[in-house]
Amino acid sequence: MHIETLGSGPSLVLLHGWALHGGVFAPLVQRLSDRYTLHLVDLPGHGHSRDTDVALTLEATVDAVLARTPPAVWLAWSLGGLFALHAAAASRQVRGLAMIAATPRFVKGEGWPHAVEASVFAQFGDDLRNDYAGTLERFLALDTLGSEHARAELRTLKQDLYARGEPAPAALQRGLQLLEQSDLRTTLPTLTVPSLWLAGRRDLLVPSKAMQAAAQAAPEAQFVEIAGGGHAPFLGHADVVAGEVDRFLQSLSQDDAA
């Protein structure tokens, strides 16, 4: 599995969202790599990890990342959040969580109203089989819809999409299944590390209220809402996101020193 390491300082593991790869975090790399060592993961079936033998399951993927990275804070966007939450619940190697547009459950359910219908991900799975390229472009449009910088964000995501080759169709289907079926809400009260929950107020995939609810269920959690942000706020609001992540990481360093 491909993990790119760059920068210097305390370690930060970064996990991308569905269909993309670690390169999507370029705006954060530009703003954080002078102070932190960044470990940019390409999830199985994505980017340079397209042909890896590691399965795109929570257990296998997390075990592979833990084996290749030092103790670190994990930053995760969208689908990547499921892996980060699982890792934090399973290993003391995770020192903290920074969740961007990610929740423990991505679909509506009992006691979890602020999410999309399960049929959304099922429909994307059906569409992928009939129109691979068109479906990916429609998903990217949904990623940016609502953001005050939607046009620029969509242009960036389209440029990034195939920058490391096409994601594997089987991995995309498996990722949609994870988004549709995973429910990690029971891990929240048991978290033993601090967490930061960064939400875009205009996010149409992961509503801000869902992230606020997740933060309220976790100990030592901070919730931050970005007023004009959509589902990928680290693109259109990179300075704000990097600043909040830096502040969070600095607070952890101060706690360690104390």
% of the chain at pLDDT higher than 70: 98
* 160-187 mean pLDDT: 96
pLDDT score of 257 more than 80: no
pLDDT, residue 104, reads 98
CATH number at residue 83: 3.40.50.1820
Question: Looking at the 3D structure of the chain, how many domains does it have?
Answer: 1
| Strand residue runs (E) in 129-208 | 195-200
Condensed to tens digits (0 to 9), the pLDDT of residues 99-117 reads 999 999 999 999 999 999 9
- Region 183-189: mean pLDDT is 97
Q: Stretch 72-80: mean pLDDT, rounded?
A: 98
Cβ burial of 242 (10 Å; 0-12, 13-18, 19+) is middle
**Structural domain boundaries enclosing 242:** 3-257
Going by C-alpha positions, the residue among 15, 35, 36 that lies closest to residue 25 is: 15
Per the CB < 8 A criterion, the answer to whether 60 and 52 are in contact is no
- Phi, psi angles (nearest 5°) of residue 4: -95, 130
182 catalytic, yes or no? no
Which of 16, 49, 203, 237 is labelled catalytic? 203
Q: Letter for the amino acid at 59?
A: E
Q: What's the average model confidence in pLDDT over 69-93?
A: 97
| Measured distance CA(206)–CA(186) in Å, rounded | 18
pTM, rounded to two decimals: 0.97
Predicted confidence band at 258 (pLDDT cuts at 50, 70, 90)?
A: very low
Catalytic residue among 39, 46, 86, 231: 231
Straight-line distance from the first to the last Cα atom of the chain, in angstroms, rounded to the nearest whole number: 36
Which of 78, 147, 182, 208 does the annotation list as catalytic?
78
* pLDDT tens-digit readout, 199-255: 999 999 999 999 999 999 999 999 999 999 999 999 999 999 999 999 999 999 766
Q: What one-character-per-residue DSSP string does 209-242 give?
A: HHHHHHHHHSTTEEEEEETT--S-HHHHTHHHHH
C-alpha to C-alpha distances, 224 to 89, 146, 209, 229, 244, nearest whole angstrom: 22, 18, 11, 11, 8
State what percent of residues in the chain have pLDDT above 90.
95
Measured distance CA(198)–CA(102) in Å, rounded: 8
**What is the mean pLDDT of the segment spanning 72-93?**
97
Whether 131 is catalytic is no
Burial 73-99 (b: 16+ CB within 10 A, else e): bbbbbbbbbbbbbbbbbeeebbbbbbb
Res. 34: pLDDT tops 80: yes
Q: Is 231 a catalytic residue?
A: yes
